[in-house]
Amino acid sequence: MNSSITKRLVKVKQAATYIGVSAWKIRKLIQQGLIPYIPGDGATAPWLIDIRDLDAYIDSQKVSFR
């Protein structure tokens, strides 16, 4: 039996890679309250980010020309 589990919570660097920005940008977005986080272990991952929240952030930033 081969089961594959996709991570729902990612660290800052993984979140940055996911949406194509720097880790500093992710930290800034968290500090501005634009991306929610879950407290991590503090040492290696102070913040964990839900992939669904990253998707919601991306959707909220979309613009189109009229």
**Nearest 10 degrees: CA dihedral of 62, 29, 22, 20?**
-20
Q: Assess if residue 65 is contained within a domain.
A: no
pLDDT at 34: 97
Domain extent at residue 45: 9-60
- Nearest Cα neighbor of 18 from 61, 55, 59 is 55
- pTM for this structure? 0.84
Q: Assess if residue 33 is contained within a domain.
A: yes
Structural domain tally of the chain?
A: 1
Q: Assess if residue 3 is contained within a domain.
A: no
- pLDDT tens-digit profile of 34-56? 999 999 887 888 999 999 999 99
